[in-house]
Amino acid sequence: MAQNQPDRGQRGLPGGSPRYSALALAKKAMNYHQDWQRAWRDPEPKSEYDAIIIGGGGHGLATAYYLAAVHGINNIAVIEKGWIGGGNTGRNTTIIRSNYLWDESAAIYEHSMKLWEGMTQDLNFNVMFSQRGVLTIAHSEHELREMSRRVHAIRLNGIDSEILGSAEIKKFVPTINIDQSIRYPVMGGFLQKRGGTARHDAVAWGYARAADDLGVDIIQKCEVTGLRRQGRKIIGVETSRGFIKTKKVGCVVAGHSSVVAAMAGIHLPVASRPLQALVSEPIKPILNTVIMSNAVHMYISQSDKGEMVLGAGVDKYNSYAQRGSFSVPEHMLAAAVELFPVLSRLRMLRHWGGIVDTCPDASPIISKTDIEGLYFDCGWGTGGFKATPGSGHVFADLIANDRPNKIAAPYTLDRFSSGLLIDEHGAAGVAH
Amino acid sequence: MLIIPCPHCGPRDEIEFACGGEAHIARPLVENKISDAEFANYLFIRDNTKGLFLERWHHSAGCRKWFNLARDTFTHEIIEVYPMGSLPKKASARTSYSSSWRRGTLAEKAAKTGKHSQTEGRK
C-alpha cells in the first residue's frame, strides 16, 4: 500500500497564475507589492454547472481541485456560505499524521499523507508542511502495551511508527517533564516522524488558487437554502443568490452536514459538537515536535510564529455555536502545564471553537446517497484537517465516477445498517 | 459553561452532568421484524437539530438521576427541563418533538405496536 502513489493530476507545470517564485517576489518588491493580482476570481454564479461542491473549506476546495486536475471536470462551482477556510479549516490545530490502527483508516490517511508531501509543489503555494514528527504519549503501563500493539499494526501497513521510552522522549523533547510522580506521568510514547503540521489557511488558499486557475468558480457569501430534486434525482441547488442547475452535488459542510442532509430528507448518524483550541503569546522555540496525549485529551505544538497551539477534546453536548465550555480547555491546560512546566506563566491570546461532525465509530462518511447525484463527505469529527487532500482526492473520484474507489468504499453510509463499522475510537493515539 | 437546572438539585454547573444525547428514542420490540436499515435509525441515526433540541442529561456527579432538557443548540438557551418518560409542556418544545423525523420511522412504530410487551416475550 505504501508504494502506491496517488494520481496528482495531469497539469504539466504546477499551476497558479500568477506564478509564485523568488524572482516574482523580487520583481514585485520594486513596486512595493502593489500589483499582485487576486489569487482567485470572485465570479457571479453561472446558471448551470456540471457539479457543485457545497462548502468552501479545505476538503471542499480540495475536492474541486482534484475534480478539475485529475478528472478534467472544470465546469464546477464551490459554494460557500461565509468565506473560504473560515470554518473548521481555520479552527483546528493543524496536526497531520497517518498512524491509524485499522487498514481502512491507514489507507485513507496515508493516501492523504502522500498528497501532503507534494502539496506545496503541486499547488505552487507554500503550505508550510513541516514533518516535525507527532509524538503520542502513554501515561500508564497498559496504555504503553496497547500502544506497542498499534505501532506494529501501523508498521505492517507500511507506515512509519516507532516506540520511544521516557528517556528517549526526554532526549527528543528536552522541555517535557518525565518526573514519574506527576498525575499523568510519561511512561513512553510512539512517534511518527513523517507527521507534523501545515499552515491551515495556506491549504485553503492554495487549493482555491489552483482550482480557480483550472476554471473552478469559487462563490463566497452564497448560502445553500435547498436541494431541488426531481423524483430521486438532484437537479440543482437553491441558494441565497438564486437557483443553480446541476446534476451532481457534493456536500462537504462538516458541522452543518445534518442541516444540508435534512434538505434532501436524509438523516445522518452525525452529532455536531464544539471542539476547542487556543494559542498563546509567541515565545522563542521550545517545542520541536507535536505532542499528543490520549488520556488527557491534549495536543500541543509550536507554530512558526512561536505561539503554543493547544487543542482539547470535544465538548459533551451538541452545539452549533462555535464556542464550548470553559471546563474543557481548563482540564487540558492543567495537564499541559504538568507535562511542560515551562508553560505555567504563559498567557493565552486567542481561544475558539469549531463545530465538528462526529460519527458513532469516529470514522468519516464518504458516500453516495439514495438520491442520484447527491454525495456526502462528512463525519470527519476531530481529525479532518490531516485528511484534507486525501478526502478531497477520493471524494472527487467518487463524484466523477459515481462509484467509490477502493480507499473510499469502506466509508459508505450503508455501514451503519450493515454493521461494518470502522471503529477508530481512540485507536491511534487520537483524542476523539 | 452551561448552568443546568437539575429538577432534583436545582441549578448546577455543567461539569456535574453527563449528556446522553437525543431524547425520546424508543427501542424496537424484539418480535417486530424490521430491516437492518430501519434498526439503524434506532441504533445510530440521530437528530442533529440546529435550534431547539430535546436531549437527555444525567446528573452524574450529583443526584445521579436522568432527566430531559429542551435546549437550543445554537444559543445554548435552556427552554424547559422535564422528567424522563414524559413529554415537554412548552409549545415550541412540543413542536420540536412532534415534527421530528423519528416520529415517522418504522423503528419507533415497532417500539409501540408489538402484540406483547418485552417482559411477556421473555416468559
Query: ipTM value of the model?
Result: 0.90
pLDDT of residue B84: 95
Q: Hey, is A64 helix, strand or coil?
A: helix
Whether A318 sits inside 8 A of B53 (CB atoms) is yes
Q: Which of A127, A60, A422 is nearest to A432 (CA)?
A: A422
pLDDT tops 90 at residue A37: no
Average pLDDT, chain B: 90
Indicate the pairing of strand A188-192 with strand A134-138.
antiparallel
Tell me the pLDDT band of B117, cut-offs 50, 70 and 90.
very low
Whether A416 sits inside 8 A of B44 (CB atoms) is yes
Tell me the pLDDT band of A2, cut-offs 50, 70 and 90.
very low
**Residues of B in Cβ contact (< 8 Å) with A262:** 101
Whether B48 sits inside 8 A of A318 (CB atoms) is yes
Whether A418 sits inside 8 A of B36 (CB atoms) is yes
pLDDT of residue A427: 53
Model-level pTM greater than 0.80?
Answer: yes
CA gap A49, B12 in Å, rounded:
53
Mean pLDDT of B74-86: 96
Residues 72-111 of B with CB under 8 A from A: 73-76, 101
Query: Count of CB contacts below 8 A, A vs B?
Result: 74
Angle at A112 between CA A109 and CA A113, to 5 degrees: 90
pLDDT of residue A80: 97
Q: In what order do the strands lie in the sheet with A307-314?
A: A162-165, A188-192, A134-138, A290-293, A298-302, A307-314, A271-282, A348-358
Whether A318 sits inside 8 A of B75 (CB atoms) is no
> Rounded to a whole number, what is the largest CA-CA distance in chain B?
48
Mean pLDDT of A153-161: 95
Q: Please, what is the angle between helix A200-213 and helix A58-69, to 10°?
A: 30
Domain range list for chain B: 3-122
CA gap B44, B37 in Å, rounded:
10
CA distance A330 to chain B (A): 11
Q: CB distance from B37 to chain A under 8 Å? A: yes
pLDDT, tens only, A42-76: 999 999 999 999 999 999 999 999 999 999 999 99
pLDDT of residue A25: 87
Q: In chain B, which residue ranges form alpha helices assigned H by DSSP? A: 36-43, 91-98, 106-112, 118-122
pLDDT, tens only, A93-105: 999 999 999 999 9
Q: Which of A130, A122, A55 is nearest to A95 (CA)?
A: A130
Whether B53 sits inside 8 A of A326 (CB atoms) is no
**Cα distances (Å, whole numbers) of residue A134 to A77, A82, A114, A333:** 35, 32, 16, 19
Q: What is the dihedral of CA A384, A390, A396, A401, to 10 degrees?
A: -120
Tell me the pLDDT band of B113, cut-offs 50, 70 and 90.
low
CA distance A143 to chain B (A): 25
Q: Which of A426, A428, A431 is nearest to A335 (CA)?
A: A431
How many residues are there in chain A?
432
Indicate the pairing of strand B3-6 with strand B10-13.
antiparallel
The half-sphere exposure of B13 on its side-chain side, counting CA atoms within 13 A, is: 8
Top residue of B43, B48, B57, B101 to mutate, by most chain A CBs within 10 Å, is B48
How many residues are there in chain B?
123
Whether B45 sits inside 8 A of A416 (CB atoms) is yes
- For residue B72, give the chain A residue with the closest CA: A319
Mean pLDDT of A25-41: 88
Listed in sequence order, the residues at least 6 apart from A259 whose beta carbon sits closer than 8 Å to its beta carbon are A253, B48, B50
- Phi then psi for residue A265, to 5 deg, are 70, 25
pLDDT, tens only, B20-79: 999 999 999 877 789 999 999 999 999 999 999 999 999 999 999 999 999 999 999 999
CA distance B81 to chain A (A): 16
pLDDT of residue A233: 96
Whether B48 sits inside 8 A of A258 (CB atoms) is yes
Q: What is the assigned CATH class of domain B3-122?
A: alpha beta
pLDDT of residue A209: 93
* Residues of chain A with a CB closer than 8 angstroms to some CB in chain B: 256, 258-259, 262, 265, 267-272, 316-321, 325-327, 360, 416-419
Whether B73 sits inside 8 A of A258 (CB atoms) is no
C-alpha cell at A90: 481555520
Q: CB distance from B42 to chain A under 8 Å? A: no
Residue B92 one-letter amino acid:
S
pLDDT of residue B63: 97
CA gap A164, A173 in Å, rounded:
11
pLDDT, tens only, A295-353: 888 899 999 999 999 998 899 999 999 899 999 999 999 999 999 999 999 999 999 99
CA gap A380, A394 in Å, rounded:
14
Q: Hey, is A423 helix, strand or coil?
A: coil
Is A241 within 8 Å of A222 (Cβ atoms)? yes
CA distance B39 to chain A (A): 7
Is A422 within 8 Å of A103 (Cβ atoms)? no
How many whole angstroms from its chain centre is CA B119?
22
pLDDT of residue A1: 46
Taking 3-state DSSP, the helix, strand and coil percentages for chain B, each rounded to the nearest 5, stand at: 30, 25, 45
pLDDT of residue A17: 56
Whether B45 sits inside 8 A of A256 (CB atoms) is no
Whether B48 sits inside 8 A of A327 (CB atoms) is no
pLDDT of residue A424: 85
